[in-house]
Amino acid sequence: MDWGMRNRLSQLIKEDGHCFFMPIDHGYFQGPTRCLEEPGETIKPLLPYCDALFVTRGVLRSAIGPANSKPIILRVSGGTSMAGKDLANEGLTTSIEEIIRLNATAVGVSVFVGSDYEQQTLLNLAKLVNECENYGIPVMAVTAVGKELEKRDARYLALACRIAAELGARVVKTYWCKEGFEKVVKGCPVPVVMAGGPKCETEREVFEFVYDGMQRGAIGINLGRNVWQARHPAAMAKALQAIIHKKADVKKACEIFNEAKI
């Protein structure tokens, strides 16, 4: 692996082998998502705890200061909306020149395995890998399910993750699942990062699935709504960082959260 690729991956994945990515890209298909109306303000108290931001070029330019920023994972797929027919009908939105101009540390692209747009989105990933590998820029594949949240079982996730890795993704982001998550990770030859999904009922529920996923082989999280839509976003981020980087278990994470929220 070239120095540039290794250097970028090491900015995202810390020395302990773990990572905490903060996605604020939801507006690219959801519009002004709750608590993300002003993304620059939303992330201010969370930045000390996360390792990288997952963001589109529009929000990057308008809301993120270029000095001393966290590493940027640029969201480069899109072209659909909640109001449209099918969220899976994505294309690539950002040229390689723009990715380099914005000094992205990595890029992220969704693949919709099993959808009507399976081939199109998988070829988006392959094309992006072809271009980004020339410049040492890692590609993170997002195994997306659109509105079909029930798809998130181990068999489906293992299929989607493996295919994304085979096509050249350096990191795969997928959902945690209760049954067989370790098989999803084992079947994927590149590191797996857990996505969040819609907000959980309680903070403890979030700590439980994150802790469980880490025990079963994930290297970290890419968690948005369960952090910045929480009642105490900074306390959530601090407790999650402790699970990811400080070996905290669920009990410890709850203690950290309860202390930090005061």
Kindly list the catalytic residues.
Answer: 173
Of 188, 178, 185, the C-alpha closest to 153 is 178
Residues 1-20 vs ligand 5RP: string with x where CB under 6 A?
Answer: --------------------
Of 225, 223, 202, the C-alpha closest to 36 is 225
Tokens 């969201």 correspond to 75
Q: What's the CA gap between 173 and 75, in Å, rounded? A: 13
Residues ≥6 apart with Cβ < 8 Å to 247: none
Backbone angles phi, psi at 31, to 5 degrees: 75, -155
Contacting residue, 168, 187, 197, 217, with ligand 5RP by CB under 6 A: 197
Q: Which stretch binds ligand 5RP (CB under 6 A): 88-96, 112-120, 152-160, 217-225?
A: 217-225
Residues 94-133 vs ligand 5RP: string with x where CB under 6 A?
Answer: ----------------x-----------------------
- SS3 of residue 236 by DSSP: helix
Contacting residue, 74, 195, 214, 240, with ligand 5RP by CB under 6 A: 195
203 interacts with ligand 5RP by CB under 6 A = no
54 interacts with ligand 5RP by CB under 6 A = yes
The answer to whether the CB of 90 falls within 8 A of the CB of 78 is yes
Of 39, 30, 84, 34, the C-alpha closest to 60 is 39
Nearer to ligand 5RP, 23 or 233 (CB): 23
225 interacts with ligand 5RP by CB under 6 A = yes
Contacting residue, 142, 171, 188, 256, with ligand 5RP by CB under 6 A: 142
Tokens 């027919």 correspond to 85
Residue type, 164: A
Near ligand 5RP in 154-193, by CB under 6 A: none
Q: Which residues bind ligand 5RP (CB under 6 A)?
A: 23, 25, 54, 110, 142, 144, 195-197, 222-226
